[in-house]
Structures are given as C-alpha cells and as structure tokens.
C-alpha cells in the first residue's frame, strides 16, 4: 500500500531544460540590464539585496532571456557531478539538509547503550544496518527467501489475487496500487482508492514509443531483468525477461495517460465493493480485499476504471506461471537497494544510469540518510528543527503567508472576468486555507516499529508494514489534520486539495528562497512566490474543482468556468511552444496545473510585496530597484542544471515545466516585468498584450 493524497501533492520541483539554439540570445546583440541607479542610498547600506550578483551574465539581455541573465554565469561555471542528475537552488539546500541530518544520525550511530525500543535506538540501528555492507553481503538474497517460496506455492488465480493483497505493502509492483486517502466528495472521511500500476518502466510511453531512445531503453530493460535473475540465482533469466516485458506491455496498453490521470473528476469513480465484478469478474476481488484486510469496506474509489477492465482481460489471458515470474522480478527490484553490491549495482545501472543519466552511485552515507529519512523521518525532523529552524523564521513566514492571503483576496476582488457569485465562493475557500509552517504540531509515533542493527531488509519490511497499518487504521476514523505529507528536513512544499492546506517544511526556508538578512523584495520574489504557488494550486485547473472544505464540488458559475478554462487553454498553448530539445517541447497539458501555480504565485507575491511597502518607494540596493530585485529573486530560485536523460524522462512524466520555462513563462505574462526591465516588441521575451495570460 502506498499513500497518495488525492489530487496529488503539488509542489515546486527544480527542473532545467537545455535551450534550443533558436531560444538562445545572440551575444553580439546583448547589452547590460538598464540604467538603474548606480549608488545605494545611504540609509539602506545595512540591507542586502539577497541577489547572487556573481551569477549574472551581462552578455545576455534580460529582455531576451531573463533566466539566463540572472543565472547564466552560474550555468557556465558549474558542472553536474557524476553522482547527481541535477544541481541548483533546490538541490543545494537538499545537500545541506542531508549534511545536517547526517550529523544528527552519526552522533546517534556512534552512541553505545541506547535504550532498546527508543527512537534514538531505531535511528542508530537502521543507519547501522544500511552501512554494514559485510552483513548485507553475507546474507545475499536470503531475506527474500520466504517471499520467493510463497510465490512458488501459488497454484491458482485466486492465490495470485491473495498474494497481490497480502504483499502489496512491500512496495513490489503489481497492477493494483491500493492506498487510503480522503474521499474527494466527502472530505470528512477516509476511503480506499485503487490506482493503475504494474509497470517497471516509468510510463506507458516507454513501451510503445519507437524513437531510438525508447527502443534502447526497452532493450536495456530486457537485459536488466535477465541480469537480475542471474545474480539472484533464479533460472531462465532471458526467457523471464521476455515474459515480463510482454506482460507489462499488455498492461501498459490500458494505462491512462498522465494528462488523463490529472483530471480529478474523471478519476472519481466510487464503486460498492460488491460491484467491483462489474469492472472485471476475472479477478477474485474477495480474496484480494480479504488479504489486504479491507473486505469490510463498503466502497472503493477506482481512479482509472477502464484500466481495471483491461487488467482483468490481461489477468485472465496470462498464465499463473507468467505472473509468478513477474512477481519474482518485482520482489527483487523492490529490495535491490538493500541487497548485495552486485544486485545493487545492476539496479543502479539500469534505473539510475540508463534511465536517469546518473554516472556514479551516490556515497553510501547519503543513501543511508535517505533510508532513515524515508522510514523514521519525523524522529530526525524533531531534532532537525530544534537545531536548524529559528522561531523568528516561523513568525516571519506566518506573516508572509497572511500577507499573500490578503493580496490574493484583493486580486480576486479586482478580477474583471469573474462575477460576484464566484468571487464570493473563492473568498470562502481562500479564508479556509490552513497553512502549516516548519514542522508538525504533533509528531509521528514509531513505537510499533522494531529495528535491528543486523537486519536491513527486515527493517525495511517492518517499516513498510507499520506504515501500511497506520494507513488502514485511518479508515472509519476522523481526519488526521495534524498529519504532514513531508518531513521538516524536506526541501519542498505542497498543497493538498482535500485538506485545503498549504505546507512549507523548515528546510526550504533558507536562501535563496527565504533570507532573514535580506530586503523584502527578494523574499517576496522567492518564498513569497512559493507561498503564492501553493495557494495557486487551490485555484488551478484541478484544485479549483474543490471547495473550501476540500470536497470535489463545482462552485463556479457556468460563464466564469468557461472563461477560466479559456485562459488555461491559452497557457497550455504558450508552454507547448517552449522547445526543450530539438523537436521536444514542454507538454502544456501535463504541466498546466503547475504553470497556473507559478503564474499565480509570482503575480500575487508581487502584489503582496507592493502592498508591504505601504505606498513608499522601495530602496535601491546593489544598483537595483525593488521591482528588479523581486523578479531577479524569482528567477534565481529556478537556477538549475539537469542531465539530458533525466530531463527527457521528466518531460514525459513530470507535471512541472523545466525550471527555465517556469521563470520565462510566468514573467512573460506580467506587465510589471515589462516595466521593470524595459521589455519591448522585438525582444525575445515579448508577448503582445492580448497574448499575456492573466488568471488570478
């Protein structure tokens, strides 16, 4: 079982696509920014701009490519290390968070005599179990023996359904990804959901696209499966690879596209458990639900009903032996990172090197930190915030959130395209937003989890089992409003539509996003735009379908909804015109929600910044006006480089546009940006006024 918050966690990710030659500014035509004031006024001498001036590339005109003007020198001078697929603002903070967490974990791991069963003992021994490579090599694949034996004992399709239910929590791919989340049409209750799954490659496109890259990846996947079988001592690896690829390809034919799966209304399909056989009667639902311990549930929400029908056909037509072969590989794959060095290396070679372009494995301690964060995250988080998150930072963030909320409300009032009835409903939703800043008010309880220093795979299995039980325990109970979907040491943020909450973990509240020592302009352009982005998800093309209580319910008048959708369609067209590689453009439909979030975020953050000045002129700092610093602060948070293989994957699978176009796309729609940097017709970033998309 895996947890997915209905509607998805909407959060800024840092991506950068390489510009095609047609998008690159001409160095011969480049000029410096503008004739801004040359001196910093005396009374602001103590303030810092918060702008990384050493990253500016004066050979690029800001009017042609503002992103590269702000970040160009950094882009030229920094290379991606072999153990990474990306570097940049987000990733720098993530590296620092890893270092901070490593220090906390190492101190515990080096401490003797920790009380058995304490949180401290669990952190120390989980890390020790991952770092003890000699013990891992000694047990080989023995920790998986009982699962392999269970798979070997499967005799019937009913046994298969029972196995899917009983072992789904272990993270092994099977076609039915079952999880517990809030009912989108009754946000007062939790419900069981089923999401399409079962593929080893990232997306259905990887099974059918005839481009050379995808053909090569399919060949690499076949070799990988055979290698994994051979390394684990399983027979007939080459034949197994063909069997698994054929089975997954049949499943992939029935998968919804990622664009289709974004649609909250189409995904909401509630079935009485007794009616699941109307989707397919080839699968023993009763055996599956009983093994999953949810047979008493009256209903289940099916996200992609046509996939279930297709799965039933594939399930019926495929032999028990083929499914057993499939399950053995995905068992190996689910635990490859915790097994012997040769199995781990093979897993890395395909999924990280071939798929993502990562040249080297990350240092083991970094992977160990990730294991602890992933399984005991809030234990670490509690200590992390005590050492790295100041109370005044939370107070300042709270103030910024409320300033953004006020600005959003004022902006709603000023919308010429929206009628009063819809404005009133939007205000109700905005007022109901729940902000969560820094860390939870109530920490996760790990008392049910047993961790041993000499049992890595067992630790992971028990952690996944405890996590599954916590999810099942939600059914029939009250909504856990105290719960967070990210740990405090996570560099990210999110909006949850069914909870109507915006969440900002402590680790993102650092420069360049949030700088306590800097003038307000850069903070509004950085963390202010992130706050506005998450608020914007409440009013993007999907979040806008949920009301103030988190229920999937239309609160728009018909004419307003049509106008909103028209403006969204214009944004789809704009972003679909951005070329990342030759012949490869941004998917404007897939990225629409995030693009609305970005545009809304920077628009509202700018308004909040201007209101914060109280009618006064902003100081000139580092020769830059307040407006210029605001927009530069926005552009520098998207600073990043990413390897080509990883970027190509993200274009297909990620609902976020590449970082460069997140900056350029939003700012190209803002009249205030044109004024601040004197953008005129003929400049590369110029859009005619009638083409500039304005939503919130």
Domains of the chain: 144-337 (1.10.1380.10)
Measured in whole angstroms, the distance separating CA 417 from the mean position of its chain's CA atoms is 32
Torsions phi, psi for 436 (to 5 deg): -125, 125
- pLDDT given for residue 46 in this prediction: 62
Residue 3 in this model has a pLDDT that exceeds 50: no
43 vs 103, residue with greater confidence: 103
**CA 694, CA 573: separation in Å to the nearest integer?**
14
Residue 17 in this model has a pLDDT that exceeds 50: no
pLDDT tens for 212-271 read 999 999 999 999 999 999 999 999 999 999 999 999 999 999 999 999 999 999 999 999
- pLDDT given for residue 506 in this prediction: 97
pLDDT tens for 182-226 read 999 999 999 999 999 999 999 999 999 999 999 999 999 999 999
Report DSSP state, residue 301.
E
Q: Name the token pair of 460.
A: 């992971």
For the chain, what is the mean pLDDT?
93
Non-local CB neighbours of 671 within 8 Å, separated by 6+ positions: 689, 692
pLDDT tens for 21-45 read 333 323 223 333 333 333 333 334 4
Pairing of strands 186-196, 299-302: parallel
Q: What is the pLDDT averaged over residues 657-674?
A: 98
- pLDDT given for residue 173 in this prediction: 86
- pLDDT given for residue 298 in this prediction: 97
| pTM of the predicted structure, to 2 decimals | 0.91
Task: Judge contact between 616 and 623, C-beta under 8 A.
Answer: no
Confidence class of residue 10 from pLDDT cuts 50, 70 and 90? very low
- Find the angle CA(332)-CA(338)-CA(344) to the nearest 5 degrees: 70
pLDDT tens for 401-455 read 999 999 999 999 999 999 999 999 999 999 999 999 999 999 999 999 999 999 9
Q: What is the pLDDT averaged over residues 593-616?
A: 97
Q: Name the token pair of 69.
A: 């003007």
- pLDDT given for residue 47 in this prediction: 76
């Amino acid at each position: 079982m895996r947890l997915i918050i209905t509607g998805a966690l909407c959060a800024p990710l840092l991506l950068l696509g390489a510009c095609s030659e047609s998008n690159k500014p001409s160095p011969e035509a480049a000029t410096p920014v503008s004739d801004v004031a040359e001196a910093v006024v005396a009374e602001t001498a103590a303030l810092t701009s918060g702008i990384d001036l050493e990253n500016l590339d004066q050979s690029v005109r800001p009017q042609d490519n503002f992103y590269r003007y702000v970040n160009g020198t950094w882009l030229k001078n920094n290379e991606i290390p072999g153990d990474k697929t990306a570097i940049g603002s987000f990733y720098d903070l993530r590296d620092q968070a890893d270092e901070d967490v490593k220090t906390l974990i190492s101190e515990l791991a080096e401490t003797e005599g920790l009380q058995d069963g304490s949180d401290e003992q669990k952190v120390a021994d989980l890390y020790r179990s991952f770092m003890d490579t000699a013990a891992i090599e000694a047990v080989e694949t023995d920790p998986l023996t009982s699962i392999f034996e269970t798979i070997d004992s499967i005799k019937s399709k009913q046994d298969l359904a029972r196995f899917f239910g009983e072992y789904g929590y272990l993270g092994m791919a099977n076609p039915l990804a079952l999880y517990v989340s809030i009912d989108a049409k009754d946000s007062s209750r939790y419900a069981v959901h089923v999401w399409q799954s079962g593929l080893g490659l990232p997306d259905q496109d990887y099974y059918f696209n005839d481009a050379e890259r995808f053909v090569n990846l399919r060949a690499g996947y076949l070799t990988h499966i055979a290698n994994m079988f051979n390394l684990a001592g399983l027979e007939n690896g080459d034949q197994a690879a063909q069997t698994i690829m054929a089975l997954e390809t049949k499943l992939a034919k029935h998968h919804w596209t990622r664009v289709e799966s974004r649609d909250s209304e189409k995904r909401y399909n509630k079935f009485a458990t007794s009616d699941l056989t109307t989707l397919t009667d080839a699968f023993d639902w009763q055996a599956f639900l009983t093994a999953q311990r949810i047979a008493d549930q009256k209903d289940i929400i099916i996200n992609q009903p046509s996939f279930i029908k297709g799965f039933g056909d594939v399930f019926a037509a495929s032999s028990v032996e083929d499914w057993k072969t499939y399950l053995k590989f995905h068992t190996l794959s689910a635990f490859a990172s915790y097994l012997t060095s040769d199995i781990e290396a093979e897993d890395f070679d395909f999924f990280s090197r071939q798929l993502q372009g990562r040249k080297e494995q990350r240092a083991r301690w970094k992977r160990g930190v990730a294991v602890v964060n992933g399984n005991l995250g809030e234990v670490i988080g509690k200590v992390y915030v005590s050492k790295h998150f100041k109370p005044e930072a939370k107070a300042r963030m709270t103030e910024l959130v409320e300033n953004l909320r006020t600005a959003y409300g004022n902006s709603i009032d000023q919308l010429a395209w929206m009628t009063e009835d819809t404005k009133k409903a939007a205000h109700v939703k905005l007022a109901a937003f729940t902000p969560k800043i820094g860390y939870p008010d109530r920490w996760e309880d790990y008392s049910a989890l047993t961790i041993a220093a000499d049992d890595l795979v067992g630790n992971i299995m028990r952690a996944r089992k405890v996590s599954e039980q916590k999810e099942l325990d939600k059914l029939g109970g009250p909504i856990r409003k105290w719960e967070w979907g990210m740990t405090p040491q996570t560099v990210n943020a999110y909006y949850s539509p069914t909870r109507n909450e915006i969440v900002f973990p402590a680790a993102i509240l650092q420069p360049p996003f949030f700088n306590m020592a800097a003038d307000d302009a850069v903070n509004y352009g950085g963390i202010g735009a992130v706050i506005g982005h998450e608020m914007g998800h409440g009013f993007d093309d999907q979040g806008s379908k949920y009301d103030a209580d988190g229920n999937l319910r239309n609160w728009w008048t018909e004419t307003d909804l049509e106008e909103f959708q028209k403006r969204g369609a214009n944004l789809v067209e704009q972003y679909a015109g951005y070329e990342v590689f030759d012949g490869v453009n941004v998917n404007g439909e897939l990225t629409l929600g995030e693009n609305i979030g970005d545009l809304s975020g920077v628009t509202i953050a700018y308004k909040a910044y201007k209101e914060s000045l109280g009618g006064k002129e902003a100081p000139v700092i580092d020769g830059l006006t307040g407006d210029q610093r605001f927009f530069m602060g926005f552009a520098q948070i998207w600073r990043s480089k990413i390897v080509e293989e990883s970027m190509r994957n993200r274009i297909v699978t990620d609902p976020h546009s590449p970082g460069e176009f997140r900056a350029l796309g939003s700012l190209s729609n803002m009249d205030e940006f044109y004024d601040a940097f004197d953008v005129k017709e003929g400049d590369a970033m110029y859009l005619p006024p009638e083409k500039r998309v304005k939503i919130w």
